[in-house]
């Protein structure tokens, strides 16, 4: 995002409007758009370019770490405490896999969530562009543009069916 610029925010009451607005904006070369939506709309998502997300790697890393910790914990402590039970070997892998499995899931989930918080936080936009209706029944399209193209953007948004269009400086 630019340090200085103008953001134009259009408010829509339906996904269809947002979709046509985004299409129009893209065609006109406005790439820096953010969409606010009260629901997880896959229709909007398809209009936007896919973004590389590191969450998958985080999840995998967490899971792998969990599996490793599980095995280390069980095997390591069993060696520390070589107590025989039921004629089983000190390192009884099948039961240890159970522990390892549970920790795989646990650490995988924890890593995934950490990733999510980080991502939510990272993709947060300035509260002044946000409208509390965006979480209930309105969609928002927020375009950052140069001063001279504000009118074009506003027109594009209105044409697409925006109920209202405003601009904010930052």
Q: Which of 99, 158, 166, 168 binds other proteins (CB under 8 A)?
A: 99
Q: How far is Cα 94 from Cα 80, in angstroms, rounded to an integer?
A: 19
Which candidate, 167, 170, 158, places its Cα nearest to that of 12? 158
Q: Closer CB to other proteins, residue 48 or residue 151?
A: 48
Residue from 134, 143, 154, 156 touching other proteins (CB under 8 A): that is 134
Query: CA-CA distances (angstroms) from residue 73 to 16, 97, 160?
Result: 54, 11, 59
Does residue 38 belong to the site contacting other proteins (CB under 8 A)? yes
Residues near 153 by Cβ (< 8 Å), separated by ≥ 6?
Answer: 8, 25, 30, 143, 145
Stretch of residues binding other proteins (CB under 8 A), selected from 3-11, 51-59, 151-159, 162-170: 51-59
Q: What are phi and psi of 80, to 5 degrees?
A: -60, -35
Dihedral (CA of 107, 113, 116, 118) sign: negative
Determine, following the binding rule CB under 8 A, whether residue 27 of this chain makes contact with other proteins.
Answer: no
Q: Kindly tell me which residue out of 32, 46, 128, 137 binds other proteins, with binding defined by CB under 8 A.
A: 137
Interacting residues with other proteins (CB under 8 A): 13-16, 34-41, 44-45, 48, 51, 53, 55-56, 59, 63, 73-74, 77-78, 80-81, 83-89, 92, 95-96, 98-99, 101-103, 105-106, 108-110, 112-113, 115-117, 119-125, 130, 132-137
């Amino acid at each position: 995002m630019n340090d200085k610029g103008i953001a134009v925010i259009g408010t829509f009451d339906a996904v269809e409007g947002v979709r046509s607005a985004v299409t129009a904006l893209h065609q006109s070369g406005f790439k820096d758009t953010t969409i606010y939506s009260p629901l997880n709309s896959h229709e909007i998502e398809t209009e936007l370019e896919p973004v590389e997300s590191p969450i998958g790697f985080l999840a995998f890393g967490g899971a792998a770490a969990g599996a490793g910790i599980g095995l280390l914990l069980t095997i390591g402590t069993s060696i520390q405490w070589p107590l025989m039970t039921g004629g089983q070997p000190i390192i009884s892998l099948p039961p240890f896999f159970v522990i390892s499995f549970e920790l795989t899931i646990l650490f995988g989930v924890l890593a995934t969530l950490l990733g999510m918080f980080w991502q939510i936080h990272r993709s947060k936009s300035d509260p002044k562009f946000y409208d509390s209706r965006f979480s209930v029944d309105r969609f928002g399209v927020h375009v950052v543009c140069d001063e001279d193209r504000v009118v074009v953007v506003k027109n594009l948004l209105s044409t697409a069916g925006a109920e209202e269009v405003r601009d904010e400086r930052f």
